[in-house]
Amino acid sequence: MNITVLGIGLMGLPMAQRLREAGFAVTAWNRTVEKAMRLASHGARVAHTAAQAVREADVVITMLENGDAVEAVLFGQGVAQVLKPGTLVIDMSSIKPAQARDHARRLAEQGCAHLDAPVSGGTVGAEAGTLAIMAGGDAADFARAQPVFAPLGRATHVGPHGAGQLAKLANQMIVGITIGAVSEALLLAAKGGADMAQVRAAIRGGFAESRILDVHGQRMVDRDFAKRAAMSVQLKDLRNALDTADALDFQAPITRLFAELYADGIDHGLAEYDHSALFVELARRNGMK
């Protein structure tokens, strides 16, 4: 099976590496070719255009920044026009559900299949092959994609086209809001004179336990906000959730509040820090370092 990966960034790189390690023939493309060249030493072929990259592909994986980028690469750079009939396009980017449904429809007109299959687990999960993969599309295409998903993580079919993106929005709502809850709670404890690291240790294993308290809480204790998942990306996902909620006439006041908080953090220079850096914005509001 020939697999092409379009987008060799923080997530695309380790995912492509795992596909090569699993024995797949991998072709890589990235807008900045130097990023794709990092895969050459792993035996991947590097293409200089997206259209060149997909000509012989059986499966095309997109891991791009947003829906507009996916749209531009698939339909603005000649990719859709040169795909072989029957090619399966797996969009693992995080985009709006409506965009995913539109892409699926347009690819079907070209005789190609589509899954929207965004992921959760960050760079740690991508490197370890433990990503949570949320797939929307036809069940037959999901079954066909199983050998591709296996080296990357655990895949779940959650419904028709667009449903994978709905699941990712739900994930990002929970992640973004929980980062805020952990940040605010630890800062309150520190403001009152408690040892923040020990408070985190004390509440672990109780009902407050979560992956966020474990991983992101430790980053807060260590003041380690090096980018794994950027504040700007978290805000993009929350805004996509709000746009989707508005289209469904669904009220999401908690998500709306947190979108404003992340936006404020970005306005204060935190755009390219890890999304756990919401802690920094909340500390700033409270006059804390």
Query: At 147, phi and psi to the nearest 5?
Result: -65, -30
Helix (H, G, I), strand (E, B) or coil at 209: coil
Residues found in the chain: 289
Among the listed residues 168, 191, 227, 289, the single catalytic one is: 168
End-to-end CA distance of the chain: 52
Q: Within the chain, where are the H helices? A: 12-21, 33-37, 50-54, 67-71, 79-82, 97-109, 122-128, 139-144, 146-149, 163-191, 196-203, 211, 217-222, 231-247, 253-265, 278-285
Residue 59 pairs in a beta bridge with: 3, 88
Residue type, position 217, single letter: G
Our answer to whether residue 227 is catalytic in this structure is no
**C-alpha–C-alpha distance, residues 252 and 70, integer Å:** 26
**Residues with a known catalytic role:** 168
